[in-house]
A and B are shown apart, each in its own frame.
Chain A
Amino acid sequence: AQSVTQLGSHVSVSEGALVLLRCNYSSSVPPYLFWYVQYPNQGLQLLLKYTSAATLVKGINGFEAEFKKSETSFHLTKPSAHMSDAAEYFCAVSDWGGSQGNLIFGKGTKLSVKP
Protein backbone atom coordinates (compact mmCIF):
# COMPACT_ATOMS: atom_id res chain seq x y z
CA ALA A 1 0.00 0.00 0.00
CA GLN A 2 1.11 3.49 -0.68
CA SER A 3 1.00 6.47 1.63
CA VAL A 4 2.19 10.03 1.86
CA THR A 5 3.19 11.99 4.93
CA GLN A 6 3.47 15.75 4.86
CA LEU A 7 5.29 17.07 7.90
CA GLY A 8 3.79 20.29 9.15
CA SER A 9 0.18 21.16 8.44
CA HIS A 10 1.10 24.84 8.44
CA VAL A 11 4.30 26.55 7.37
CA SER A 12 4.86 30.28 7.62
CA VAL A 13 7.70 32.12 5.90
CA SER A 14 8.59 35.72 5.21
CA GLU A 15 8.43 37.09 1.71
CA GLY A 16 11.76 36.42 0.02
CA ALA A 17 12.66 33.56 2.33
CA LEU A 18 13.25 29.94 1.36
CA VAL A 19 10.19 27.73 1.13
CA LEU A 20 10.58 24.09 2.18
CA LEU A 21 7.57 21.80 2.30
CA ARG A 22 8.30 18.25 3.34
CA CYS A 23 6.89 15.07 1.86
CA ASN A 24 7.78 11.48 2.60
CA TYR A 25 6.23 8.56 0.82
CA SER A 26 5.83 4.85 1.17
CA SER A 27 5.48 2.67 -1.88
CA SER A 28 6.14 -0.96 -2.73
CA VAL A 29 6.62 -0.13 -6.40
CA PRO A 30 8.64 2.61 -8.07
CA PRO A 31 6.53 5.65 -7.33
CA TYR A 32 5.33 8.51 -9.39
CA LEU A 33 5.22 11.61 -7.22
CA PHE A 34 3.35 14.85 -7.61
CA TRP A 35 2.98 18.22 -5.96
CA TYR A 36 -0.27 20.10 -6.40
CA VAL A 37 -1.27 23.56 -5.20
CA GLN A 38 -4.78 24.57 -4.19
CA TYR A 39 -5.91 28.15 -3.82
CA PRO A 40 -9.02 28.87 -1.73
CA ASN A 41 -12.23 27.46 -3.19
CA GLN A 42 -10.45 26.15 -6.25
CA GLY A 43 -9.36 22.81 -7.62
CA LEU A 44 -5.81 21.53 -7.70
CA GLN A 45 -3.13 22.75 -10.04
CA LEU A 46 -0.15 20.57 -10.90
CA LEU A 47 3.13 22.13 -9.80
CA LEU A 48 5.49 19.36 -10.82
CA LYS A 49 5.85 15.62 -11.08
CA TYR A 50 8.50 12.93 -10.81
CA THR A 51 8.12 9.98 -13.17
CA SER A 52 11.46 8.14 -12.80
CA ALA A 53 13.49 10.45 -15.00
CA ALA A 54 15.65 13.20 -13.48
CA THR A 55 15.60 13.21 -9.69
CA LEU A 56 15.54 17.01 -9.52
CA VAL A 57 12.30 18.20 -10.98
CA LYS A 58 11.52 21.79 -11.85
CA GLY A 59 7.96 22.98 -11.90
CA ILE A 60 5.94 26.11 -12.40
CA ASN A 61 6.22 29.33 -10.41
CA GLY A 62 9.85 28.68 -9.48
CA PHE A 63 9.20 25.53 -7.46
CA GLU A 64 11.31 22.43 -7.62
CA ALA A 65 11.49 19.09 -5.81
CA GLU A 66 14.11 16.43 -5.43
CA PHE A 67 13.37 12.73 -5.36
CA LYS A 68 15.57 10.96 -2.82
CA LYS A 69 14.99 7.25 -2.85
CA SER A 70 17.25 6.58 0.14
CA GLU A 71 15.22 8.98 2.24
CA THR A 72 11.87 8.18 0.57
CA SER A 73 11.37 11.91 0.29
CA PHE A 74 10.14 14.40 -2.29
CA HIS A 75 10.42 17.78 -0.61
CA LEU A 76 9.22 20.90 -2.38
CA THR A 77 11.36 24.02 -2.37
CA LYS A 78 11.41 27.55 -3.70
CA PRO A 79 14.38 29.86 -3.12
CA SER A 80 12.37 33.01 -2.54
CA ALA A 81 8.74 33.10 -1.39
CA HIS A 82 6.26 35.45 -2.93
CA MET A 83 2.98 36.61 -1.44
CA SER A 84 1.13 34.84 -4.24
CA ASP A 85 2.58 31.50 -3.09
CA ALA A 86 0.24 31.47 -0.09
CA ALA A 87 -1.95 28.41 -0.64
CA GLU A 88 -2.45 24.78 0.34
CA TYR A 89 0.07 22.32 -1.06
CA PHE A 90 -0.55 18.62 -1.50
CA CYS A 91 1.98 15.89 -2.15
CA ALA A 92 0.67 12.77 -3.85
CA VAL A 93 1.97 9.37 -4.86
CA SER A 94 0.73 7.15 -7.64
CA ASP A 95 1.27 3.52 -8.32
CA TRP A 96 1.21 4.22 -12.03
CA GLY A 97 1.91 0.97 -13.70
CA GLY A 98 -0.11 -0.76 -11.01
CA SER A 99 -3.86 -1.00 -10.87
CA GLN A 100 -5.32 2.27 -12.08
CA GLY A 101 -2.63 4.68 -11.09
CA ASN A 102 -4.76 6.25 -8.39
CA LEU A 103 -3.36 9.19 -6.52
CA ILE A 104 -2.87 8.97 -2.78
CA PHE A 105 -2.71 12.44 -1.22
CA GLY A 106 -1.00 13.72 1.85
CA LYS A 107 -3.00 15.81 4.30
CA GLY A 108 -1.68 19.02 2.87
CA THR A 109 0.46 21.88 4.10
CA LYS A 110 -0.86 25.38 4.28
CA LEU A 111 1.78 27.92 3.33
CA SER A 112 1.50 31.44 4.70
CA VAL A 113 3.76 34.21 3.44
CA LYS A 114 4.35 37.23 5.65
CA PRO A 115 5.21 40.61 4.14
Chain B
Amino acid sequence: GAVVSQHPSRVICKSGTSVKIECRSLDFQATTMFWYRQFPKQSLMLMATSNEGSKATYEQGVEKDKFLINHASLTLSTLTVTSAHPEDSSFYICSAREVLQETQYFGPGTRLLVL
Protein backbone atom coordinates (compact mmCIF):
# COMPACT_ATOMS: atom_id res chain seq x y z
CA GLY B 1 0.00 0.00 0.00
CA ALA B 2 0.81 3.73 0.12
CA VAL B 3 2.04 4.27 -3.41
CA VAL B 4 2.81 7.72 -4.75
CA SER B 5 3.49 8.35 -8.42
CA GLN B 6 5.02 11.29 -10.23
CA HIS B 7 4.80 12.29 -13.84
CA PRO B 8 6.88 12.87 -15.80
CA SER B 9 9.91 11.05 -14.46
CA ARG B 10 12.21 13.13 -16.57
CA VAL B 11 11.74 16.34 -18.52
CA ILE B 12 14.00 18.54 -20.63
CA CYS B 13 12.79 21.99 -21.56
CA LYS B 14 14.01 25.25 -22.97
CA SER B 15 14.71 28.24 -20.78
CA GLY B 16 11.65 30.42 -20.38
CA THR B 17 9.08 27.66 -20.71
CA SER B 18 6.87 26.29 -17.96
CA VAL B 19 6.85 22.73 -16.75
CA LYS B 20 4.12 20.94 -14.81
CA ILE B 21 4.87 17.98 -12.55
CA GLU B 22 2.08 15.79 -11.22
CA CYS B 23 2.06 13.91 -7.95
CA ARG B 24 -0.60 11.32 -7.28
CA SER B 25 -1.42 9.12 -4.31
CA LEU B 26 -2.65 5.91 -5.87
CA ASP B 27 -4.21 3.99 -3.02
CA PHE B 28 -4.93 6.50 -0.30
CA GLN B 29 -6.29 9.97 0.20
CA ALA B 30 -3.56 12.51 0.77
CA THR B 31 -4.81 15.44 2.76
CA THR B 32 -1.31 16.87 2.79
CA MET B 33 1.32 16.77 0.08
CA PHE B 34 4.87 18.04 0.20
CA TRP B 35 7.24 19.17 -2.53
CA TYR B 36 10.97 18.80 -2.13
CA ARG B 37 13.95 19.72 -4.20
CA GLN B 38 17.17 17.74 -4.14
CA PHE B 39 20.45 18.93 -5.58
CA PRO B 40 23.11 16.38 -6.56
CA LYS B 41 24.60 14.58 -3.59
CA GLN B 42 22.57 16.65 -1.17
CA SER B 43 19.61 16.15 1.10
CA LEU B 44 16.01 17.01 0.40
CA MET B 45 14.95 20.58 0.92
CA LEU B 46 11.28 21.20 1.59
CA MET B 47 9.84 23.72 -0.83
CA ALA B 48 6.22 23.84 0.17
CA THR B 49 3.40 22.05 1.93
CA SER B 50 -0.05 21.86 0.44
CA ASN B 51 -3.32 20.85 2.00
CA GLU B 52 -6.21 19.82 -0.20
CA GLY B 53 -8.40 22.75 -1.08
CA SER B 54 -6.23 25.45 0.42
CA LYS B 55 -3.22 27.51 -0.60
CA ALA B 56 0.22 26.03 -0.26
CA THR B 57 2.57 27.10 2.47
CA TYR B 58 5.98 27.93 1.07
CA GLU B 59 9.28 27.66 2.88
CA GLN B 60 11.41 30.73 3.30
CA GLY B 61 13.30 31.58 0.14
CA VAL B 62 10.98 29.70 -2.21
CA GLU B 63 9.26 31.95 -4.75
CA LYS B 64 5.57 31.13 -4.74
CA ASP B 65 5.01 32.86 -8.09
CA LYS B 66 7.69 30.77 -9.69
CA PHE B 67 6.75 27.43 -8.18
CA LEU B 68 2.98 27.20 -8.45
CA ILE B 69 1.40 24.45 -6.40
CA ASN B 70 -2.15 23.21 -6.77
CA HIS B 71 -3.70 20.54 -4.58
CA ALA B 72 -7.09 20.29 -6.21
CA SER B 73 -8.09 16.84 -4.99
CA LEU B 74 -7.21 14.33 -2.30
CA THR B 75 -5.12 12.34 -4.74
CA LEU B 76 -3.44 14.95 -6.92
CA SER B 77 -1.05 17.82 -6.44
CA THR B 78 0.80 19.64 -9.19
CA LEU B 79 3.94 21.72 -9.18
CA THR B 80 4.42 24.12 -12.07
CA VAL B 81 7.83 25.65 -12.59
CA THR B 82 7.10 28.86 -14.45
CA SER B 83 9.57 30.51 -16.79
CA ALA B 84 12.15 27.88 -16.03
CA HIS B 85 15.84 28.74 -16.03
CA PRO B 86 18.91 26.51 -15.98
CA GLU B 87 19.32 27.05 -12.24
CA ASP B 88 15.93 25.39 -11.76
CA SER B 89 17.39 22.14 -13.01
CA SER B 90 17.08 19.70 -10.17
CA PHE B 91 15.42 16.55 -8.87
CA TYR B 92 11.93 17.31 -7.60
CA ILE B 93 10.29 14.85 -5.23
CA CYS B 94 6.80 14.90 -3.82
CA SER B 95 5.43 13.10 -0.81
CA ALA B 96 1.94 12.51 0.49
CA ARG B 97 0.43 11.90 3.87
CA GLU B 98 -2.94 10.60 4.94
CA VAL B 99 -5.06 12.51 7.41
CA LEU B 100 -3.94 11.94 11.01
CA GLN B 101 -1.02 9.76 9.89
CA GLU B 102 2.57 10.65 10.66
CA THR B 103 4.29 8.93 7.73
CA GLN B 104 5.07 10.60 4.43
CA TYR B 105 5.23 8.40 1.36
CA PHE B 106 7.45 9.60 -1.43
CA GLY B 107 7.09 9.62 -5.17
CA PRO B 108 9.90 8.42 -7.45
CA GLY B 109 10.97 11.95 -8.32
CA THR B 110 11.13 14.06 -11.47
CA ARG B 111 14.43 15.03 -13.02
CA LEU B 112 14.16 18.49 -14.59
CA LEU B 113 16.80 19.77 -16.97
CA VAL B 114 16.44 23.30 -18.28
CA LEU B 115 18.57 24.13 -21.28
Binding site for B on A (CB under 8 A): 32, 34, 36, 41-46, 49, 51, 90, 94, 96, 100-103, 105-108
Contact = CB atoms under 8 A, between A and B. Distances in A.
Contacts of A46: 103, 105-106
A36 B102 contact: no
A49 B4 CA distance: 18
Interface of B: 4, 6, 32, 34, 42-44, 46, 49, 57, 91, 93, 95, 97, 102-109, 111
A107 B42 contact: yes
B114 to A, nearest CB: 18
B93 A43 contact: yes
16 contacts: A34-B103, A41-B109, A41-B111, A43-B6, A43-B107, A43-B109, A44-B44, A44-B93, A46-B105, A46-B106, A49-B102, A49-B103, A100-B32, A100-B57, A101-B102, A105-B44
Contact of A96 (B42, B93, B102, B109): B102
A36 B106 CA distance: 10
A94 B102 CA distance: 8
Nearest to A103: B104
B43 A106 contact: yes
Contacts of B4: 43
B73 to A, nearest CB: 19
A32 to B, nearest CB: 5
A102 B59 CA distance: 11
Contacts of B32: 100
Contact of B108 (A34, A43, A101, A107): A43
Contacts of A90: 43-44
A8 B34 CA distance: 27
A2 B93 CA distance: 21
